[in-house]
Structure 1
Amino acid sequence: MDKAVRRYYLQKQKQKEIEQELSELRNEILTYLTEQGTNELEIGSHKVKVVIQERKEYDDTRLYEALPDPELWRMLSKPDTSKIASLLKLNVITEDKLKDTFATKTVRVLQVDKK
């Protein structure tokens, strides 16, 4: 068991290092694309593309006030966009009820694919 714990710890350290490097590379690529004034380029054998997404970030207090049933709030426990989207899709709650409970955040998603 000691070997498994040690290996797990080492793998988590590698994961942190990889995530840090990915973050740095992502920022470098996004900066380059911005400087080039484009959201899409072919570089070598790779196609690089920035996709703009909008994400909702819910305000706990406003969301709690908007939900008609306290049971719904307990189901969510904290604002989870995918759970809220499911409740909307199932018509358990309406988009109108939630209109003032979130802010929309624009996110740049980097996609790198082989040609």
Structure 2
Amino acid sequence: MEQQIARYFELKQLLKQAEEEVDRLKAELLAAYEAPGTYVNDEYKLMISVQERRDYDDNRLYNALPDKDVWRLLSKADTTKITGLVKLSILNEHILDGTYEVRHIPQIRISKK
């Protein structure tokens, strides 16, 4: 059992180091290739895209809701729940204007040619 514990600890350390290196490489790639698009070299294809994420403010969202009973469905500003309520037509997009900040998150995908 001691060997499994030691191996588990070792692998967790390696995983942490690998994640740190991936983060560093991602930052370097994003610095070198700032614009979204596809970049191809001899062996690899790099695709950079931007994902929009909304960060809702609880207070602004609560004040914007036409029916305060809807807040019971949310209980806090959960993006997934809000999206679901918009799709069900319980909430309207124009009501949500001004209740969130939009973040642009760059995404990287690399594949072999």
1:102 deviates by 1.0
1:94 deviates by 0.8
2:60 equivalent among 62, 67, 71: 62
With structure 2 as the length reference, what TM-score do the two structures score? 0.75
Partner in structure 1 of residue 16 of structure 2: 16
Unaligned stretches of 5+ residues in structure 2:
none
Does the residue aligned with 1:53 lie in a helix, a strand or coil?
Answer: strand
Q: CA RMSD in A?
A: 2.9
Q: Kindly provide the amino acid, as one letter, of the partner of residue 112 in structure 1.
A: I
**Contact 2:36/2:50, CA 8 A, preserved across alignment:** no
**Contact 1:66/1:101, CA 8 A, preserved across alignment:** yes
1:50 equivalent among 38, 48, 51: 48
Q: Kindly provide the amino acid, as one letter, of the partner of residue 22 in structure 2.
A: L
Q: Which structure shows the higher helix fraction?
A: 1
Distance 1:38 1:81, change over 3 A: closer
Cα distance between partner residues in 2 of 1:93 and 1:80: 14
Distance 1:3 1:92, change over 3 A: farther
Give runs of aligned pairs for residues 1-115 of structure 1, distance below 5 A.
11-34=11-34, 39-115=37-113
With structure 1 as the length reference, what TM-score do the two structures score? 0.74
Distance 1:101 1:5, change over 3 A: farther
Unaligned stretches of 5+ residues in structure 1:
none
Distance 1:8 1:79, change over 3 A: farther
1:6 deviates by 6.5
Q: Kindly provide the amino acid, as one letter, of the partner of residue 90 in structure 1.
A: L
